[in-house]
């Protein structure tokens, strides 16, 4: 049978056969040629996605590396480096068979031993990987083409864990490189994907060029996001920065801009010779992180007042305007399209009370006008706009706000630390997480992480839950979901466990235990009940304020064809006319 599972049906199956062949998608017989110049939202600082969990590193590295499983545009799992798998011992033993023809860019053959070493490195660093490792008895290469995972208890979501394509995806590299500490970038960038680096290495400050790997053998299926046949039709993808990417696109200096500034979207929709679209139907989960360790926001009663006082719809409208399909509010722990989306615990969220009532709550909580220090990364196009809108909201409810403007590097350093002394303290910062990693519970830590939609959330206003002061309304959404290890909101294991992965450092053992039960649950009703209880607990802890789910708009020259729907740009099937 075809190996494209709907996430809703996945947990009914304990084993799946290997894929049968399928006809290649129309258009993949074009002769590869030419190049495109791509302007990312930021240049990467490394191309090792395990050591450097950033959006830019993820996008570039996923063109170079592969994972055992990919996902289609609706985030259903598809085998990529494997031809299939089978389970034994009531779901405690998973056996994966590598597909033929896999070759690393250094000319060596991909083996199961490389997969074992790569997955061990991933499991030592990534939240989803750690959840898998906690249930792992052994991982071994039983033959050169066969990989076996032996678990301590049945776990039906293993392929879903291995489809992770956002921050820290479980990419496969040669075992000699996978021996590198997961906190240290590898010395060479050697993957098995359809694009390679000119010298198998790259350093920040250099031009980044992805070259077609001529020995790559794509799968036979049509491509869909990171799943299926990755057919490289371009000889070169050149990543370049631009002071004014929109002007450069209009002038023909570049071919593709990953993310348009929100205030220019309407103008660009009218520009001749360009295509403007929302390719990402999953988008980002925007939130205000609150420092639970130091300063005024260490007081949970003050955090709960902030949670109740901020109007997410007003924030989203300020940043993204009122155009249909730009954002969705309000959000719970999971975005509206998740199977686990609910209103549990959301009665105290989203400006349902007047500013006067919130000020009274703050007074009762012991707030005496102390400064709420909010970090503003001024060179981050979205985060700095979110910060400005949030400052307005915080001021309206009577908080004294101190804005600390920082460049990207300084911001990254500040956010990792709770503060050794008062001068180093911060209280809040705005962030956006990839919603694709948050539709199920595989990454839940007591802060947030988004959800996984099938049809995508649409609406220029609200979708699910009550309305705040802005009171917009939005379209309905389809619901999808899986099992429970990816939402970074429900783990709540504190600073020691997550370091800079979850700035704000919530610490709630109860939420962590519930998240573990969620991962192991196989009954849909049990998972839904656990999701609701976790959400209620998370909003009582109030380690973050959900601001909204937003959807980036991208643009490219009309002479270029093939950009695919998905959570980030992929470069296969893209061609120049």
Domains in the chain: ranges and CATH: 7-15+28-239+565-576 (3.40.190.10), 284-550 (3.10.105.10)
Mean pLDDT value of segment 432-460: 50
130 or 446, greater pLDDT: 130
What's the confidence (pLDDT) of residue 73? 87
Assess whether pLDDT exceeds 70 at residue 314.
yes
Assess whether pLDDT exceeds 70 at residue 321.
yes
Tell me which of 316-330, 432-446, 449-463 is least confident. Answer: 449-463
What's the confidence (pLDDT) of residue 402? 95
Mean pLDDT value of segment 368-389: 93
User: Residue 23: how many CB atoms within 10 A of its CB?
Assistant: 9
Assess whether pLDDT exceeds 80 at residue 168.
yes
What's the confidence (pLDDT) of residue 416? 66
Q: Percentage of the chain with pLDDT > 90?
A: 55
Euclidean distance between CA atoms 190 and 215, whole angstroms = 14
Euclidean distance between CA atoms 406 and 238, whole angstroms = 29
User: Residue 159: how many CB atoms within 10 A of its CB?
Assistant: 21
> Hunting for tokens 């729907």 — which residue is that?
565
Tell me which of 28-37, 191-200, 384-393 is least confident. Answer: 28-37
Pairing of strands 327-328, 256-257: unpaired
Mean pLDDT value of segment 403-409: 86
Of residues 78, 167, 56, 160, the one with CA closest to residue 439? 160
What's the confidence (pLDDT) of residue 33? 55
What 271-274 contacts at long range (C-beta under 8 Å, 24+ apart), as own/partner pairs, is 273/557, 273/558, 273/559, 274/249, 274/250, 274/555, 274/556, 274/557, 274/558
Assess whether pLDDT exceeds 80 at residue 43.
yes
What's the confidence (pLDDT) of residue 258? 95
Assess whether pLDDT exceeds 70 at residue 20.
no
Mean pLDDT value of segment 324-333: 88
What's the confidence (pLDDT) of residue 482? 34
Alpha helix segments (H runs only) across 326-407: 355-364, 381-396
Q: 59 falls in which pLDDT band (50, 70, 90)?
A: very high
Strands (DSSP E) found in 68-194: 69-71, 77-79, 82-88, 93-98, 136-141, 146-151
Q: 514 falls in which pLDDT band (50, 70, 90)?
A: confident
Q: How far is CA 514 from CA 142, 282, 312, 393, 452, in A?
A: 35, 26, 27, 33, 20
Mean pLDDT value of segment 345-359: 88
Assess whether pLDDT exceeds 70 at residue 434.
yes
Q: 421 falls in which pLDDT band (50, 70, 90)?
A: low
User: For the packed helices 509-520 and 524-541, what is the interaxial angle rounded to 10 degrees?
Assistant: 160
SS3 for 480-541 is: ECCCCEECCCCCCEHHHHHCCCCCCCCECHHHHHHHHHHHHCCCHHHHHHHHHHHHHHHHHH
Euclidean distance between CA atoms 383 and 360, whole angstroms = 29
Q: Tokens at residue 551, please?
A: 């959807």
Mean pLDDT value of segment 116-142: 94
Assess whether pLDDT exceeds 80 at residue 472.
no
Tell me which of 32-36, 160-164, 541-545, 561-565 is least confident. Answer: 32-36
455 or 550, greater pLDDT: 550
Q: Tokens at residue 300, please?
A: 């949970």
What's the confidence (pLDDT) of residue 166? 82
What's the confidence (pLDDT) of residue 511? 66
What's the confidence (pLDDT) of residue 495? 42
What's the confidence (pLDDT) of residue 245? 93
Mean pLDDT value of segment 316-340: 88
pLDDT in tens, 67-88: 999 999 888 899 999 999 999 9
- Distance between alpha carbon 91 and the CA centroid of its chain, in Å? 28
Assess whether pLDDT exceeds 50 at residue 280.
yes
Euclidean distance between CA atoms 400 and 299, whole angstroms = 16
Q: How many residues does the chain have?
A: 577
Q: 418 falls in which pLDDT band (50, 70, 90)?
A: low
Tell me which of 126-135, 209-218, 442-451 is least confident. Answer: 442-451
Mean pLDDT value of segment 230-250: 94
Assess whether pLDDT exceeds 90 at residue 110.
yes
Assess whether pLDDT exceeds 90 at residue 573.
yes
Q: Is 439 within 8 Å of 336 (Cβ atoms)?
A: no
Mean pLDDT value of segment 119-147: 95
Q: How far apart are the first and last CA of the chain?
A: 36
What's the confidence (pLDDT) of residue 460? 39
What's the confidence (pLDDT) of residue 429? 94
Q: How far is CA 477 from CA 283, 464, 474, 569, in A?
A: 14, 9, 9, 24
What's the confidence (pLDDT) of residue 490? 47
Q: Percentage of the chain with pLDDT > 70?
A: 80
Q: Give the phi and the psi of residue 195 in degrees, each rounded to 5.
A: -125, 150
Q: What is the mean pLDDT of the chain?
A: 82
What's the confidence (pLDDT) of residue 313? 95
Assess whether pLDDT exceeds 60 at residue 535.
yes
Assess whether pLDDT exceeds 70 at residue 61.
yes
Mean pLDDT value of segment 116-139: 94
Q: Tokens at residue 24, please?
A: 């290649």
What's the confidence (pLDDT) of residue 534? 87
pTM of this structure = 0.81
Assess whether pLDDT exceeds 70 at residue 301.
yes
Beta-carbon contacts of 250 under 8 Å, excluding residues fewer than 6 positions away, are: 271, 274
What's the confidence (pLDDT) of residue 546? 95
Mean pLDDT value of segment 159-179: 93
336 or 365, greater pLDDT: 365
């Amino acid at each position: 049978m075809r190996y494209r599972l709907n996430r809703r049906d996945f947990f009914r199956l304990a084993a799946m056969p290997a894929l049968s062949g399928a006809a290649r998608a129309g258009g993949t017989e074009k002769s590869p040629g030419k190049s495109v110049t791509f302007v990312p939202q930021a240049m990467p600082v490394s191309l090792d996605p395990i050591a450097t969990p950033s959006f830019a590193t993820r996008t570039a590295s996923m063109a170079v590396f592969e994972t055992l499983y990919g996902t289609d545009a609706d985030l259903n799992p598809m085998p990529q480096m494997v031809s299939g798998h089978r389970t034994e011992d009531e779901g405690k033993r998973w056996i994966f068979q590598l597909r033929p023809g896999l070759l690393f860019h250094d000319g060596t053959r991909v083996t199961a031993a490389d997969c074992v070493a790569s997955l061990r490195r991933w499991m030592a660093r990534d939240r989803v990987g750690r959840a898998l490792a906690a249930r792992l008895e052994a991982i071994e290469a039983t033959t050169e083409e066969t990989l076996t995972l032996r678990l301590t208890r049945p776990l039906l979501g293993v392929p879903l864990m291995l489809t992770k394509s956002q921050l820290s995806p479980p990419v496969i590299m040669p075992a000699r490189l996978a021996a590198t500490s997961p906190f240290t970038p590898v010395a060479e960038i050697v993957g098995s994907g359809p694009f390679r680096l000119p010298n198998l290495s790259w350093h920040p400050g250099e031009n980044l060029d992805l070259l077609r790997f001529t020995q790559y053998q794509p799968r036979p299926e049509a491509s869909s996001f990171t799943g299926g046949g990755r057919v490289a039709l371009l000889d070169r993808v050149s990543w370049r920065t631009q002071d004014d990417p929109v002007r450069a696109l209009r002038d023909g200096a570049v071919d593709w801009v990953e993310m348009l500034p929100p205030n220019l979207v309407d103008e660009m929709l009218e520009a001749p010779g360009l295509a403007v679209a929302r390719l990402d139907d999953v988008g980002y989960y925007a939130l205000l992180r609150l420092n639970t360790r130091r300063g005024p926001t260490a007081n949970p009663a003050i955090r709960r007042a902030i949670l109740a006082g901020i109007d997410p719809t007003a924030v989203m409208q300020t940043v993204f305007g009122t155009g249909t399909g730009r954002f969705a509010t309000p959000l719970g722990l999971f975005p509206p399209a998740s199977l686990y989306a609910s209103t549990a615990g959301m009665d105290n969220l989203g400006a349902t009370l007047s500013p006067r009532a919130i000020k009274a709550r703050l007074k009762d909580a012991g707030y005496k006008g102390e400064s709420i220090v909010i970090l503003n990364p001024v060179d981050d196009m979205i985060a700095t706009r979110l910060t400005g809108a949030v400052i307005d909201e915080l001021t309206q409810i009577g908080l004294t706000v101190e804005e600390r403007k920082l460049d990207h590097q300084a911001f990254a350093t500040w956010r990792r630390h709770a503060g050794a002394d008062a001068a180093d303290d911060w209280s809040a910062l705005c962030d956006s997480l990839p919603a694709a990693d948050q539709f199920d519970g595989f990454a839940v830590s007591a802060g947030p992480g988004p959800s996984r939609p099938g049809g995508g959330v649409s609406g220029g206003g609200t979708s699910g839950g009550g309305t705040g002061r802005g009171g917009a309304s939005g379209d309905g959404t389809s619901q999808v979901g899986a099992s429970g290890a990816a939402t970074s909101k429900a783990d709540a294991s504190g600073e020691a466990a997550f370091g800079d992965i979850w700035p704000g450092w919530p610490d709630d053992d109860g939420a962590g235990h519930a998240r573990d039960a969620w991962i192991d649950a196989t009954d849909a009703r049990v998972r839904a009940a656990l999701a609701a209880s976790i959400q209620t607990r998370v909003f009582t802890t109030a380690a973050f304020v959900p601001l909204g789910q937003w959807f980036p708009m991208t643009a490219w020259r009309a002479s270029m064809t093939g950009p695919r729907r998905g959570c980030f740009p992929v470069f296969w099937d893209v061609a120049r006319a």
